[in-house]
Amino acid sequence: MRVAPNLDVASILCAAPIVRVALDVPLPTLFDYANPELINIIPGQRVIIPFGSAQMVGVAMECVADSAVPLARIKPVLQVLDENPLLSAELLALLRFCSDYYHHPLGATVLSALPARLRSKQPVTLKQAARYRLSASGRSLDLNLFPKRKVVQHRLLAALQQGVLTAAQVRAISPSAASALKALLQAGWIEPCEVSAAPSTYAFNSPHTLTAEQQQAVAAVQRASAYSCSLLHGITGSGKTEVYVHLMHHALQQGQQVLLLVPEINLTPQLENYFHSRFPDAELVSLHSGLNDGERTQNWLRAQMGRARIVLGTRLAVFTPLPQLGLIIVDEEHDASFKQQDGLRYSARDVAIFRAKQQGVAIVLGSATPSLESYYNAQSGRYQMLRLTQRAATLATLPQVRCINISNTLMAHGISEPLLQALAARLQRGEQSLIFINRRGYAPVLMCTACGWLSGCANCAGKLVLHLQDRMLRCHHCGHQQRVPHACPSCGNTDLQPVGIGTQRVESALQEYFPQARILRVDRDSTRNKGTWNAMRQQIQDDAVDILVGTQMLAKGHDFPNLTLVGVINPDSALYSSDFRASEKLFAQLVQVAGRAGRAEKPGEVLIQTAFPDHPLFRALREHDYENWAQTLLAERQSAGFPPFVYQVLLRAEGKNKEEVYTFLHQAQSAAVALDMAVEVYGVVPAALPRRANHLRAQLLVQSNSRKALQQFLKAWRPLLDTLPAKKLRWSLDIDPLEF
Ligand code: ADP
Ligand code: ZN
Ligand code: ZN
């Protein structure tokens, strides 16, 4: 990778004396460096430059004839790191757009597109990816005769019968796959092999003939030439994945690369293996924050060099250089994890759409519950609307949804009698159930029965959550924890009671009701150790679990064929939340979790415990009517003046000194009003969590019904913000914010 530029060639090519360099510093400018020997430097190449007393890696952005900085003060570029630019002109344009649109410094934006290792001076070489295949004797092996108790070896061999595996894919099979691999290598069943540089066919394993709706969706995307954005609205189980696979196949055969973005929680080794098994001879890499530096750099380089044909990634993968990009897919496009919540606060979905437009390629946004933004765009004709209205597998039907009115039902530990009966019936039939409750811990708060004291966090405006297993009170905002007190810190009374319900409480209550049942709790606490969640998923697949209790981790795209009952506990708080998106999110979550029931032949049932069974949200759920619900929400948003009918920017500030935070925001507000532009400037208000880790938090909202007007305003406002006194506080601009 690290090649000294050939000076002879360089001097023939046109080269300019000044290079403008992007650096990862919080300043909105590029930095000028001299190129005294007129080396040919191409934008997108990394350079080493002196910065202060240190040396830094930057990215050359442009070469120009002169600089506003006096020549004597311009330091020279020390070294050019790459023979070819790491970032193409197109990608640089995309990053410039993001820097402009999100009002984030260009240097920081550009450097954030590089894996950490490529931001350092260490040389990086592309490793030959280790791969494994069955040997001649391995191919003649009858798996039925292979000892079943060697579970992992068995699984590895089965996977290798589908095709070649990379080391990462081997690791994904099981935490102990490495030793199984070694054993199989020693036994001679498998052998390492070279990567085939350019497979010719991209064989495509397709067990299904497409339904008529799927066929129409595929055809509609393929019909559009150059840029098109399609919203694939398909109910859960309608076979959206199959549509993706067909589109991907088509793109691969045309020699194109495919970018497939999925929500953070969905990107599992299983998903990676799934796509690998569908396209055994297309090189696939994944990109997500769970990879270590080395893996991420290698995968990134394989995509950048055009070797990887499929890039499967979370939001950060939207910035991967892909020289032959031909198709982008954003699965579960409504998912909030596509929005980055710090630094460059981008929406990967929106950036992906811009990228598709810029490169003239097709993009498909898929979801059972599209975001209102996308749905509105599809309705108004800006996107192409594609619908899958039926479940794809012939025998799978949508689950029956019923509400249990908790205002007139007896409850114990938050669980109602009808739900208990439904659980008992499943246990008797040997079917799985899932209880969904979006709160981890035992109870959200501990209370003194004598004086009403509540376990508050000393550092935050929030409450300490009771974790009974290790007898701790824990703040889910700042991480503060303390032992459960023996007596009330306020009055000394020893009768302290948990209030409300969390996953642990449901788990222990159910264990009491059903002592024989195998209950598995899945939340962030129970899956903290690496690999646990994978092991749990295997347990569920193997039918070693009767009742699952969990948070939204369980709601997403997993296929559990024996699951026939979903119980939902306590969804109501979202109905009176101050967040105007709360009910949109709740609906999406409930559709997802309901979609886990009855995926195979057995019909599913969903029971929702609520005090508001007549709420339109639950009515829409019962009737499986997203469209009607979306229309209701859109009408509400329109009359209230909320997105997607307006465009918003949120200025957030936080600091230890309340006075300073509010003064800053009030000055920002006055500056905004004084600009007198076509935007609405709201008042300064406390954040939803007004104090966090001893920092006071407040915010200021500005909105406009024109995206362009809002951008023009930001261009004028942002430099003013930079001049306001804000020494001891942190502030940030969030364009198109999702959280308030
Ligand atoms: P979605 O992502 O829309 O929820 P999936 O892609 O997971 O749905 O598909 C649901 C199930 O339907 C899967 O088990 C899949 O194998 C099956 N399936 C998909 N397409 C077809 C088809 N054309 N014929 C039969 N089964 C199909
Ligand atoms: Zn008390
Ligand atoms: Zn706290």
Q: Which atom of ligand 1 is nearest to the CA of 600?
A: 14
Q: Distance, CA 498 to ligand 2 centroid (Å)?
A: 13
| CATH code for the domain in which residue 409 is found | 3.40.50.300
The answer to whether 56 and 139 are in contact (CB under 8 A) is: no
Predicted pLDDT at 555: 80
CA pair distance 291, 530, nearest whole angstrom: 12
> 645 exposed, middle or buried (CB, 10 Å; 0-12, 13-18, 19+)?
middle
Residue 373 and residue 229 share a domain: yes
- Assign 199 a pLDDT band (cuts: 50, 70, 90): low
> Per-residue pLDDT for 16 more than 90?
no
Q: Which atom of ligand 1 is nearest to the CA of 235?
A: 3
> Per-residue pLDDT for 200 more than 90?
no
Average pLDDT over every residue of 243-255:
95
Helix, strand, or coil here: 166? strand
Pairing label, strands 31-34, 411-412: unpaired
Q: Distance, CA 603 to ligand 1 centroid (Å)?
A: 16
Ligand nearest to the CA of 600: 1
Residue 546 and residue 436 share a domain: yes
Predicted pLDDT at 445: 96
The encoded tokens of residue 18 equal 């000044």
Predicted pLDDT at 116: 93
Give the count of alpha carbons within 13 A of 612, CB side only.
13
Predicted pLDDT at 273: 86
* Residue to probe by mutation, ligand 1, list 206, 233, 241, most atoms within 8 Å of CB: 241
Q: Which atom of ligand 1 is nearest to the CA of 388?
A: 3
CA pair distance 528, 533, nearest whole angstrom: 8
Q: What are phi and psi of 518, to 5 degrees?
A: -90, 110
Residue 654 and residue 599 share a domain: no
Of 208, 284, 224, residue with least CA distance to 248: 284
Residue 371 and residue 413 share a domain: no
Task: List, for residues 504-531, the tens digit of each pLDDT value.
Answer: 999 999 999 999 999 999 999 998 887 7
Alpha helices in 333-371 (DSSP H): 348-359
Q: Which atom of ligand 1 is nearest to the CA of 214?
A: 23
Q: Which atom of ligand 1 is nearest to the CA of 241?
A: 6
Predicted pLDDT at 308: 94
Q: Distance, CA 447 to ligand 2 centroid (Å)?
A: 8
CA pair distance 126, 116, nearest whole angstrom: 15
The encoded tokens of residue 321 equal 């250089």
Predicted pLDDT at 516: 95
Q: What are phi and psi of 333, to 5 degrees?
A: -60, -20
What is the count of structural domains for the chain?
5
Q: Which residue's alpha carbon is at the smallest distance from atom 23 of ligand 1?
A: 210
The encoded tokens of residue 639 equal 């009359």
> What region does 91 belong to: left with phi over 0, alpha with psi -120 to 50, or beta?
alpha
Pairing label, strands 384-388, 400-405: unpaired
* Residue to probe by mutation, ligand 1, list 206, 209, 218, 242, most atoms within 8 Å of CB: 242
Residue 309 and residue 227 share a domain: yes
Residue 69 and residue 136 share a domain: no
- Specify the DSSP element, H or E, that contains 675: helix 658-675
Peptide bond into 644 cis (omega under 30): yes
> Per-residue pLDDT for 8 more than 50?
no
Pairing label, strands 310-313, 46-51: unpaired
Residue 437 and residue 377 share a domain: no
**Of the candidates 596, 630, 664, which is a domain's last residue?**
630
The answer to whether 56 and 27 are in contact (CB under 8 A) is: no
Ligand nearest to the CA of 452: 2
User: Is residue 475 assigned to a domain?
Assistant: no
CA pair distance 633, 466, nearest whole angstrom: 35
User: Is residue 202 assigned to a domain?
Assistant: no
Q: Which residue's alpha carbon is at the smallest distance from atom 15 of ligand 1?
A: 239
> Per-residue pLDDT for 427 more than 60?
yes
> Per-residue pLDDT for 204 more than 80?
no
Q: Distance, CA 691 to ligand 3 centroid (Å)?
A: 9
Contacts 24+ apart (CB under 8 A), 510-518: 510/415, 510/423, 510/435, 510/547, 510/549, 513/415, 513/420, 513/423, 514/423, 514/424, 514/427, 514/546, 514/547, 516/427, 517/427, 517/546, 517/547, 518/544, 518/545, 518/546, 518/547
> Per-residue pLDDT for 494 more than 90?
yes
Angle (nearest 5°) at CA 113 between 112 and 115: 85
Predicted pLDDT at 573: 86
Give the count of alpha carbons within 13 A of 662, CB side only.
9
The sign of the torsion formed by the CA atoms of 280, 281, 287, 293 equals positive
Highest mean pLDDT among 135-149, 206-220, 356-370: 356-370
Residue 153 and residue 49 share a domain: no
Predicted pLDDT at 511: 96
Q: Which residue's alpha carbon is at the smallest distance from atom 26 of ligand 1?
A: 393
> Per-residue pLDDT for 389 more than 70?
yes
Q: Distance, CA 491 to ligand 2 centroid (Å)?
A: 4
Q: Distance, CA 396 to ligand 1 centroid (Å)?
A: 10
Q: Which atom of ligand 1 is nearest to the CA of 236?
A: 4
Q: Distance, CA 476 to ligand 3 centroid (Å)?
A: 7
List residues, by chain if needed, whose CB lies under 5 Å from ion ligand 2: 448, 450-451, 453, 488, 490-491, 493
Least confident of 185-194, 318-327, 488-497, 689-698: 185-194
Q: Distance, CA 516 to ligand 3 centroid (Å)?
A: 38
User: Is residue 484 assigned to a domain?
Assistant: no
Least confident of 83-97, 288-302, 369-383, 556-570: 556-570
Predicted pLDDT at 2: 38
**Of the candidates 119, 150, 171, which is a domain's last residue?**
119
Average pLDDT over every residue of 538-544:
87
Residue 651 and residue 527 share a domain: no
CA pair distance 85, 44, nearest whole angstrom: 5
Q: Distance, CA 450 to ligand 2 centroid (Å)?
A: 5
Residue 17 and residue 146 share a domain: no
DSSP 695: E
Residue 540 and residue 406 share a domain: yes
Q: Which atom of ligand 1 is nearest to the CA of 240?
A: 3
User: Is residue 224 assigned to a domain?
Assistant: yes
Sheet holding 729-735, edge to edge: 680-692, 695-704, 647-655, 729-735
User: Is residue 156 assigned to a domain?
Assistant: yes
| CATH code for the domain in which residue 97 is found | 3.40.1440.60
**Which residue type does 514 have?**
F
Q: What are phi and psi of 535, to 5 degrees?
A: -65, -40
Least confident of 8-17, 145-154, 272-281, 379-388: 8-17
Residue 355 and residue 216 share a domain: yes
Average pLDDT over every residue of 611-632:
95
- Assign 9 a pLDDT band (cuts: 50, 70, 90): very low
Q: Which atom of ligand 1 is nearest to the CA of 210?
A: 23
318: Cβ contacts below 8 Å, ≥ 6 apart: 259, 261, 346, 348, 351, 352, 355
User: Is residue 105 assigned to a domain?
Assistant: yes
Helix, strand, or coil here: 414? coil
Q: Where are the beta strands (DSSP E) in 18-137?
A: 18-22, 31-34, 46-51, 54-64, 79-80, 131-134
Q: Which residues line ligand 1 (CB under 6 A)?
A: 208-211, 214, 234, 236-242, 392-393, 559
> Per-residue pLDDT for 77 more than 70?
yes
Task: List, for residues 544-572, the tens digit of each pLDDT value.
Answer: 999 999 998 888 756 788 899 999 998 99
Angle (nearest 5°) at CA 669 between 665 and 670: 120
Average pLDDT over every residue of 570-581:
90
Q: Distance, CA 113 to ligand 2 centroid (Å)?
A: 53
Least confident of 374-383, 487-496, 534-543: 534-543
Ligand nearest to the CA of 473: 3
The string over 82-105, giving b where at least 16 C-beta atoms fall within 10 Å of a residue's C-beta and e elsewhere, is beebbbbebbbebbeebbebbbbb
> Per-residue pLDDT for 660 more than 70?
yes
| CATH code for the domain in which residue 710 is found | 3.30.70.600
The string over 481-491, giving b where at least 16 C-beta atoms fall within 10 Å of a residue's C-beta and e elsewhere, is eeebeeebeee
Give the number of residues written for the chain.
740
Predicted pLDDT at 195: 59
Q: Which residue's alpha carbon is at the smallest distance from atom 25 of ligand 1?
A: 393
**Of the candidates 98, 119, 140, which is a domain's last residue?**
119
Predicted pLDDT at 4: 40
Q: What are phi and psi of 685, to 5 degrees?
A: -135, 155
CA pair distance 352, 317, nearest whole angstrom: 10
Pairing label, strands 18-22, 31-34: antiparallel
User: Is residue 279 assigned to a domain?
Assistant: no
User: Is residue 464 assigned to a domain?
Assistant: no
Ligand nearest to the CA of 454: 2
Whole-angstrom Cα Rg for the chain = 28
Of 189, 133, 126, residue with least CA distance to 166: 133
> Per-residue pLDDT for 1 more than 60?
no
Predicted pLDDT at 196: 56
The encoded tokens of residue 286 equal 């994944």
- Assign 267 a pLDDT band (cuts: 50, 70, 90): confident
Helix, strand, or coil here: 341? coil
Ligand nearest to the CA of 485: 2
- Whole-model pTM: value is 0.89
Q: Distance, CA 240 to ligand 1 centroid (Å)?
A: 7
In which domain, by residue range, is 686 found? 647-735
The answer to whether 393 and 258 are in contact (CB under 8 A) is: no
CA pair distance 240, 262, nearest whole angstrom: 13
On average, the pLDDT of the chain sits at: 91
Pairing label, strands 680-692, 695-704: antiparallel
